[in-house]
A and B are shown apart, each in its own frame.
Chain A
């Protein structure tokens, strides 16, 4: 066998297209007679559309089509691309297609909109106050999820806390009034009673816009009753159903083309509901329509992270071991939802801190702010923000080292986590090697040396060090692999996942190539166009792609390997088990001369037909894969299979972040001096990309600690962060010019390739590590919200006490 491809760096197949500008993203496509679209956005945070007069706009030369929500299918209360009751300022109400954008924009200006203003709220806690405004006429809080088996939308309910709830909360503490959801296990009271130290702290985790560099622009046209859509999505095959639903057509009538995606970070998980706009406009105008989404529009419709105000009461033994954790989260789900970040956050907290007793209570509030979606580590990152300051403070109070307190609480092996199941048992993970990661990182980062200089003032500068564990779910199972070996001797791997820069789409083909001992030059990946036969794939979200699809491609390639041997046995005698593969040949064991090349085997497979060339398909594969495979019948020897490999436990990955900061106590400026991310993410498939994921994900967490956030004007309910400049994403000058990262490269025992996902765990690691480093420099009680901007630090240091309490607003 040749050296495996897994574990080696390589040049991604599409990199030359990227560096030459030939890679085409959605807005780079053109079609004859292409019209341009502009949107009329709601100027109010909550209103009812009483009337729309488009007559003047329709009469304008060059205007070809105008649509409203009435042109879109009803989605049973779920978000649509256009609305008659805007729930946030910036929500699209009308879309116009015209011969150019200037004309479309002029037409938008000419539309008369009659809006009835309705009560609104942009702050979740304001909505919980007695007599507080509700974001919707039906209420302000999402009810708990429907019981299993019960379909339909989650109900909206009204929930307010009492004046006593607010009065009884101490200064700076989140009141804990009536909650909407709860789970618990263990004896909480006993845990606190037996604790050597109990801390109870409130923290405000901000919302941030996803803001991928490529906005959700899309271009659509129709041909022979089929919709062709050039869009930007994280998950190509899994976006088709969404488009069909949003437009109101059958999935079979959707062709999605998305070979390159300019980032998503969770905001384009299964595409974007706004894709319906150019599609429906194009149908009405009978011409292609390009919808360019501006950065400001992206700030409204482009999704954001759920913000949370969380309160964590934690009991500790003298050693630092946690005895009990009581977590209360008020989550802001924005205008639509419901979002489950607080649940994944609670699960993650129960995993990385392993409290013997824990309770999670939560209120999931609706506000009149832009819609949220999962953002890179949705939930676990926020939970780190809420809990890590408490861990840091406890370590200081108990005199325990910051690495040690995390080590002593960290999970090992098949650790239990999460809410109890109906039978009282709890779920467990497949594996964890956090202790190894903490040890490795402490050494690499020279933790002891840096810790010695933390807190010491030199001139106006003081340094601090921090460490945090970032967890996230990192794998799913049950998807299909599909590939062919063709008479040209090449392996063609069909890939239904997205291509958003992680290179997983290609890494996964290398998994198949290794199983078939195929040199990389002989591998073609077919991706990015749903008319090309893409198998049922996971959503490219939740760090699951590498795990899920490495299993699926392993299964598909094993199927091809078995068929190669069967074809050889048919022609050359003996049983399939008598054959081996290697050097692009299948041959009789011990007699390399008695065999045939892959190219010959592919030709024979086509002659033999049946299952060999895809005429017969396995019964257990998904209907999507069957349809995809049926387009590849007779092209060569087909490998097609569902991932049925066993898995004991749920797959989680971990990144441990180590940070050193320098704070200027006269200006409040925080400078990140050094950062190390250590990945416990399973077997490394593509080292360079994996380390880039650790660095890039850590940077998102660092941005949350230092600078990035969204803000709303409470008086008018308008966004104050409509541009990059206002929302302050991380620039190249906000981090050291070198970041360090390393992967443990320990295989996960519950998956054939050993690989787990990596995209998300570093976010919570970066967030927690930098927050903790700042606390180490300036004091553990100086801030209780993020980002930790200069004014927070300066105000608190000057007054000798914390000046921005969690329930105060901070713009």
Chain B
């Protein structure tokens, strides 16, 4: 896959990339904080350091990105790759607004270190629709059934559902509720969310 070769090239360019961060240089508790490229300056490489310029497979594209050792996937997506559809709703792993698919399995992107997804397929809400703009069946169902209200939780719910349908394409309403129970909606539009996502499963089966 493309990322493999890119990874090697990145390593060979180590001298060019000054930004190699020392392990443990930043407290892990601050991993949810955004660290910008500006602070690359003045940092030196150290034993145990991790390569920073890596290639990720995001929404079918190989994306070169400068990633800190302690950086979460949600931060990388939102602040490095401009994929702001992945939302941050809590401090860590409670609300599911940041849910993305990694190799088709839903994950909280706030709780996944970006370095761990090298060589894996990351799909975000922006990657569901076709390149021609055709909505994914689950997206189309949410539009048709007018699922969600403020919709801040929508991307996470939709990604969780798309992942769930890969293992259970024909769930009951209760099974689907369990399948997406890792996601919170504060408008509490749960009834209409279930209706729209059940319609999504139906569209997917027909597609």
Q: Is the interface of B mostly helix, strand, loop or mixed?
A: loop
Question: Taking A213-B152, A696-B189 as contacts, is the C-beta distance between A295 and B38 under 8 angstroms?
Answer: no
Contact between B184 and A724 (Cβ–Cβ < 8 Å)? yes
A501 to B180, alpha carbons, bound, how many Å? 21
A688 at the interface (CB under 8 A from B): yes
Q: Which of B162-187 contact A (CB under 8 A)?
A: 173-174, 176-178, 180-181, 183-187
- In the complex, what residues of B have CB within 8 A of residue A18's CB? 148, 151, 154
**Given contacts A21-B124, A99-B38, A100-B34, is CB(A501)–CB(B146) below 8 Å?**
no
Contact status A11-B35, CB under 8 Å: no
Once A692-B191, A724-B95 are accepted as A-B contacts, the answer to whether A21 and B126 lie under 8 Å apart by CB is yes
Nearest CB in chain A: distance from B83 CB, A: 7
Please indicate the chain A residues that have their CB under 8 angstroms from the CB of B154 in the complex: 18-19
Asked if B85 and A20 sit within 8 Å, CB to CB, the answer is: yes
Given contacts A22-B85, A213-B153, A214-B89, contact A36 B189 (CB under 8 A): no
Contact check, B91 vs A723: say whether CB atoms are below 8 A apart. yes
Whether the Cβ atoms of A21 and B152 lie closer than 8 Å is: no
- Nearest to B140 among chain A residues (CB) is A19
Residues on B with C-beta less than 8 A from A737 are 173-174, 176-177, 191, 194
Taking CB atoms and an 8 Å cut-off, the chain B residues in 121-180 that contact chain A are 124-126, 128-129, 135, 139, 142-144, 146, 148-155, 158, 173-174, 176-178, 180
B86 located at the interface, meaning its Cβ lies under 8 Å from any Cβ of chain A in the complex: yes
Q: In this assembly, does A28 line the interface, its C-beta being within 8 Å of a C-beta of chain B?
A: yes
Tell me whether A107 is interfacial, beta carbon within 8 Å.
no
Q: How far is the CA of A36 from the CA of B32 in the complex (A)?
A: 13
Choose from B88, B180, B186 the contact partner of A212 (Cβ within 8 Å). Answer: B186
Residues of the B chain whose Cβ atoms lie less than 8 Å from the Cβ of A265: 186
Mark contacts of A216-228 with chain B using CB atoms, 8 A cut-off: 1 yes-contact digit, 0 otherwise: 0000000000000
Residues of B within 8 A of A738 (CB): 173, 191, 194
The reply on A735 being an interface residue by CB < 8 A is yes
Contact with A along B65-92 (1 / 0, CB 8 A): 0000000000000100011111111110
Contact B152 A214 (CB under 8 A): yes
**Minimal beta-carbon separation of B60 from chain A (angstroms):** 15
B143 contacts A213, C-beta separation under 8 Å: no
CB distance from B124 to the nearest CB of A (A): 7
**Selected interface stretch from A427-435, A559-567, A725-733:** A725-733
Q: Which residue of A lies closest to B70 (CB)?
A: A102
Contact B189 A695, beta carbon cutoff 8 Å: yes
The answer to whether A261 and B146 touch across the interface, beta carbons within 8 angstroms, is no
Contact B33 A214 (CB under 8 A): no
The answer to whether A11 and B144 touch across the interface, beta carbons within 8 angstroms, is yes
Contacts of A25 in B (CB 8 A): 87, 152
Asked if A102 contacts B26 (CB within 8 A), the reply is: yes
Does B12 interact with chain A (Cβ within 8 Å)?
no
Residues A24 and B38 in contact, CB atoms below 8 Å apart:
no
Asked if B97 CB lies within 8 Å of chain A CBs, one says yes
* Nearest CB of chain A from residue B24's CB, rounded to whole Å: 14
List A residues 1-46 near B (Cβ within 8 Å): 9, 11-12, 15-16, 18-25, 27-28, 30, 36, 38
Q: What residues of chain A lie closer than 8 Å to B189, measured between beta carbons?
A: 501, 692, 695-696
Q: Could you tell me if A20 and B88 are in contact, using CB atoms closer than 8 angstroms?
A: no
Tell me the smallest distance from the CB of B81 to a CB of chain A, in Å: 12
Contact A15 B88 (CB under 8 A): no
Contact bitstring A701-733, B, C-beta under 8 A = 1, else 0: 001000000000000000000011100011111
| A–B pairs, 14, beta carbons within 8 Å | A15-B146, A18-B151, A20-B85, A100-B38, A102-B33, A103-B35, A214-B89, A263-B150, A294-B32, A295-B95, A696-B149, A725-B94, A730-B188, A733-B177
* Interface pairs A-B: 7 shortest CB-CB: A21-B85, A501-B149, A262-B152, A501-B150, A699-B188, A100-B36, A21-B125
List chain B positions with a Cβ less than 8 A from chain A. Answer: 26, 30, 32-36, 38-39, 42, 78, 82-91, 94-95, 97, 124-126, 128-129, 135, 139, 142-144, 146, 148-155, 158, 173-174, 176-178, 180-181, 183-194
Q: A residues engaging B (CB < 8 A)?
A: 9, 11-12, 15-16, 18-25, 27-28, 30, 36, 38, 61-62, 99-103, 105, 211-215, 260-263, 265, 292, 294-296, 500-503, 688-689, 692, 695-696, 699-700, 703, 723-725, 729-733, 735, 737-739
